[in-house]
Copies of this chain bind each other. A is one copy, B any other.
Amino acid sequence: MSTSTSAQAARPKHPMPFVRVEVCVLGLSESGLQVLLGQREAEPFAGQWALPGGALRIDLDEDLDAAARRVMHERLSLTLPFLRQMVAVGSKTRDLDRAPWALSVAYRALVWVDQVQPLAGKRMSGLAWRPVDEAQSDHSLAFDHRDLIALAVRQTRDEVEALTLPGGFVPPTFTLGELQALCEQILGRALDKSSFRRKLHDRELVRPIEGAMKGGANRPAQVFELCR
């Protein structure tokens, strides 16, 4: 649509803020939801725990989502399958040590804890999983990251409650028992089997795969896949 003859940067009239992305990676395990945290090495908040993140690189990142993917790929050597933007926060005082004005775009993601081997990265002395309940009441986290964790947990749980199943996170095939266990781990509470299945059926969210059955130490279960 643009009729400009040049796509090169006009130097902006005013200085722009320092822009970062932060990612709240939630991890599923038998012992409830976990969150991935790293210990900061540099100011501000040196030594304190924080969400992993990194600066936006306008030379490397096509768009904001790509920036979040790149930053997390550098940290985890893993392309996060389920990544959603939560909110943008920014102010003059956010990161005084590095810039007079800092803006962070916060994302959330969801993985299995055993898919990520906590490793040390740039500017972070290692990464560690922490239970979300613990993190949400930890007032020593850097920046406003405690709020961001609470927001990520709330949004993720709301999505599961509404059975807006995280496409890209749910495995391609599964039994209904596995799917229910997954939702229960995210919610942190038990669900009623009958109600859960009726909802899935009525809203046509899952489809049985003809002939595919999964057997264990008990009665074999029908294997399903997501609709669409």
Contacts and interface: CB of A to CB of B under 8 A. Distances in A.
A53 B225 CA distance: 44
Contacts of A101: 56, 58, 61
A91 B103 contact: no
Contacts of A19: 16-17, 19, 103
A26 to B, nearest CB: 20
Given A15-B58, A63-B90, A43 B97 contact: no
Contact of A64 (B57, B63, B88, B97): B88
Given A44-B1, A88-B85, A17 B100 contact: no
Point out which of A12, A15, A18, A88 has the most chain B C-beta atoms below 10 A from its C-beta.
A88
Contact of A57 (B7, B14, B43): B14
A124 B15 CA distance: 23
B14 A58 contact: yes
Interface string A39-55: 00001111010000001
A43 B9 CA distance: 13
A207 to B, nearest CB: 28
Nearest to A14: B57
Contacts of A198: none
A115 interface: no
A10 B99 contact: yes
Contacts of A85: 87-88
Given A1-B45, A45-B2, A64-B89, A99 B59 contact: no
A209 interface: no
Given A62-B91, A91-B63, A97 B16 contact: no
A8 to B, nearest CB: 7
A4 B103 contact: no
Interface of A: 1-4, 7-10, 12-19, 43-46, 48, 55-59, 61-64, 85, 87-92, 96-101, 103, 105, 142
9 contacts: A2-B44, A2-B97, A9-B15, A10-B98, A14-B55, A14-B56, A56-B101, A63-B89, A64-B103
| Those 4 A-B pairs whose CB atoms lie nearest each other, nearest first | A63-B91, A58-B101, A88-B88, A2-B44
